[in-house]
Amino acid sequence: ELVSLQNVPYKEVIDFCKSLHASPNPNIKQAIILLLKKIYSYLGPALNLFLKDTSASFLKGLQNELAKVKVLEEHEKKPKLEGIDQ
């Protein structure tokens, strides 16, 4: 995987997700869940600190999804480039 979230401004992205979580569009809701799951793989339970002000129903559904996500170890967070010694 060449994409890394190490340098992403988490707070701004999470705030953006929170602003759209009530969208009636199911594609937007699914995209938000996928993005938050990816962020969770980097932040782990610390993600919950950013989500305290969201609705209980959204949090419950999100927690069910996050329970399926493996939190990455520090060495797994760096992008790997094939054929290049790191």
The Cα 49–Cα 59 span in angstroms is 12
Its pTM stands at 0.80
Residues 57-75 have pLDDT tens digits of: 999 999 999 999 999 887 6
pLDDT of residue 73: 84
- The whole-angstrom separation of Cα 10 and Cα 18 is 12
* CA-to-CA separations, 52 to 15, 18, 20, 25, in angstroms, rounded: 11, 10, 16, 23
pLDDT of residue 20: 92
- Summarised one tens digit per residue, pLDDT across range 29-50 is 999 999 999 999 989 999 999 9
In the chain, the amino acid numbered 69 is: V
Confidence at 8, pLDDT banded by 50, 70, 90: confident
DSSP state of 46: G
